[in-house]
A and B are shown apart, each in its own frame.
Chain A
Amino acid sequence: MISYQKPSSGAHIGANKTVSQIMWQVVLALMPATAFGLWLFGWPAWHTFLLTVAAALFFEAFCLRLQNKAVKPALMDCSALVTGWLLAMSLPPWSPWWLCVTGSALAIILGKHVYGGLGQNLFNPAMLARVALLISFPVEMTTWPNISPLFFSASPGLVESWHITLSGIAQPDAVTGATTLGYIKTEFSQNHVLSEILQDYSAILNFIGWTRGSLGETSTLLIALGGLWLIKQNIIRWHIPVSLLASVAVLASIFHLSDSEHYVSPFLQLNSGALMLIAFFIATDYVTSPNTPMGQIVFGSGCGVLIFVIRTWGAYPEGAGFAVLLMNSATPLIDYYIKPRIYGRDRKGKPLEIPKA
């Protein structure tokens, strides 16, 4: 007769899907878009990316240390890696070093550990940092370099890249420009109409990602592919991305059909800015999105509507970060009101009536 440990309850077996595996799959799904962005914007983009991720990991370890918690297992769950990664993807590709570090500090310390660490935060840490940076450093956050792929002669070399990262872009006017959304916003303010503004706009190039924008946000194609793969892997569910994209598309279509000179087409809406990254990777963040399918649809369409409203009538050309933060704050409310019906009870929690035969 042998003795075993204290009583433990079922289930004794498990699905073998751990937190770190989930995070790694997210990283894997981000890989193509990241690789494309790193190639498209050259060595300075590498600096931005590596600095942001490294700083995120450093601040995570720092916070854990302050709380006297074991650092290694918490770093191994890779949540800080994903946060840093997503933040890096939403920064301008040639960001100065201090922007990257400040961003990571905001994301990890203010966005995550102030609330109590993993699983406790109300707002998506990466988006919190992005919005905080955008408000604090509007110039640096909207300095979009021209496309300058690796190994092209016109692109900055290694030495020049260090210079850009450490002391900023020497001649901004020569190597930077506006994003599509920003350009449209400025032109609208000068009373131009869309048919004039979009003469040089190429739908295909924008779809692939051959355009100015944040480090990892330009390629609609690669981000969507990564997102679809995540859905296929059952890491995220379709409810948030579909409802978010659909609500933007529907609103854009209605307004575009009513006045095609002043409201951009749904295709351009879906194809620009942070929309795809937000839909598949940011809004689907487990911690800050609702628990039920119905709640997720409400959350997703809320995000979509806010994005459209901010983009169309707001002061900022891109409102995705704000939209997500606003809906994050509504998540507890959504979860409170939209919850699954308990078996044998009605929606209000009263036992069902026995049907009369």
Chain B
Amino acid sequence: MLNLFSSKPKIRGGVHAEEHKAETAHQPIVKTFPLPKKLYIPLQQHVGKPAEPLIRVGDTVLKGQLLAYSQGMISAPVHAPSSGLIVDVNDYPAPHPSALPIRMIVLETDGKDQWCETTPVDDPFQLMPEDISLRVGAAGIVGLGGAVFPTAVKLNMGRENRIDTLIINGAECEPYLSCDDRLMQENAEHIIDGVRLMLHGMETQYAVVAIEDNKPAAFQAMHAAASAFANIKVMQIPTRYPMGWDRQLIGYVTGREVPVGSRSSEVGVTIHNIGTAYATHNAIRHGKALVSRVVTVSGGAVGKPMNVEVPIGTLMSEVLAFCEVDTDKTARIIMGGPMMGDSLPHSGVPTVKATSGVLALTAAEIRNTQEQPCIRCASCVTVCPAGLRPLDMANHIRVNQLDSAVDIGLKDCISCGCCSYICPSNIPLVHYFKYAAGEVAARQQAQHKSEQTKKLMEARNARLERIAEQQRLDEEARATAKRERERLQAEQTEVA
């Protein structure tokens, strides 16, 4: 009610979840993770086309060396996270809720962890903006907040779309996770440098770093680091999940609303993650490709919760073992945060560029799964940041009326998990929506295929008819020819 009168921008929906960040946010990032014997590097760790390998089994590579190049407009290359020998390029379980296999390069490390030749830039502000995005693209940088959209493409779109504000997302609203928080506390100056490089690359003037107000230390550090630059503003935003949803953040910072079906760049805003800014700094200033990332390892079953820097391709089982996970207590392993992250069937999958956290939750921490009837309490309507009515959508989906669910907004669902979190009847609402979205896609494909089939059959029938017609004509021609021949013969005999 008071919101109506205060000047503060309105935040739609959202929940206050128990944070569980203190376990990891107060200790420095651990950088002593022992180099794994084998690294499993997926060829696709980004949105777009998978990278194309340019090494062969048996090659030796150095750390940071290009393993697979990006193909197509929207793609990203993959680099060697350490030095060693390529032993396999094959299908291995993917970091995905199904853990189905995808193509990975397997690197046997030699223990030297030797960097390849890098090309640092001393004064990157002399570079052309296009050059910045080229270098960012070549370093394999993708959105490290979890969206894994190739950053270079976003920088290019920034130049083309006249962006007036670059927002750096330091909300980190997911419970348990604190990797961005630690990164900001420890590398504030490097991150701000990365932000300036991004501004240069996008030819944008103004940047806002938005940090939730439950991270005062990170805010202080970033504020101090940014104080020298008038065009970078560091601001605190309220702590409320999902504050880090890009559209929510854009609305809060700029007051603009991105229409459905448009990109944020169309309203003059681009949003990048803290980790991406840091990776940009490393790529431009030091010429280093994205080969490692900070991962939050936490949860009730983790003996030593921490933020740890691991090479890309490290198996999660090794990371969990390093943090002394009690496997008996572990009820669920989650990749990412507990609100939007996906459960994994097992931990034998690699950490990738998108992995912001690996959580091992105990049974006590997990939401109750005993589904009860909906009492229409409308909590889900209240907390939905997208303005949907999850209860009605779930009711339609339960009886497979997917078209009706789409009509009332299924496709506008962002899977943030607020509704599932708040539901007193423990209804797995987001699961229903993900199922329905997949099913709708499958049905569209099926329909497309049936249209295709009809065309193929028509083509075949037309061809068969044509052939039959041809045969008939040939037959006729032959018959006429025969008759002609006989007539000629008869004439000849007559003459003779």
Contacts and interface: CB of A to CB of B under 8 A. Distances in A.
22 contacts: A1-B346, A4-B344, A7-B98, A9-B342, A9-B430, A9-B431, A12-B332, A12-B359, A13-B338, A13-B339, A13-B367, A14-B367, A15-B15, A18-B368, A18-B424, A19-B372, A292-B381, A342-B260, A342-B387, A342-B409, A344-B261, A345-B260
Given A77-B372, A344-B412, A12 B384 contact: no
A-B residue pairs, 5 tightest by C-beta = A14-B367, A11-B417, A7-B97, A352-B259, A344-B260
B425 interface: yes
A56 to B, nearest CB: 17
Contact of B431 (A4, A8, A292): A8
Contacts of A341: 387
Chain A facing B: main interface SS: loop
Interface string A336-357: 0001111111000101111101
B365 to A, nearest CB: 6
A11 B421 contact: yes
Nearest to A343: B386
A351 B247 contact: no
Interface residues of A, number: 45
Contacts of A355: 256, 267
A3 interface: yes
Nearest to A296: B378
A232 B285 CA distance: 54
Interface string B326-366: 01001111100111111111111000000000010100011
A77 B412 CA distance: 33
Contacts of B261: 344, 351
Nearest to B251: A343
B415 A14 contact: no
B378 A2 contact: no
A111 B333 CA distance: 44
Contact of A345 (B340, B348, B412, B434): B412
Interface string B85-122: 00000000000011000000000000000000000000
A162 to B, nearest CB: 37
Given A14-B426, A345-B412, A340 B262 contact: no
B424 to A, nearest CB: 5
Interface string A269-301: 000000000000000001100011000000000
Interface in B1-54: 12, 15, 17-18
B424 A17 contact: yes
A189 to B, nearest CB: 42
B346 A79 contact: no
B162 to A, nearest CB: 8
Contacts of B417: 9-11
Given A14-B426, A119-B374, A286-B375, 10 more contacts: A4-B330, A4-B343, A5-B345, A10-B342, A13-B366, A13-B367, A19-B425, A119-B375, A291-B376, A343-B257
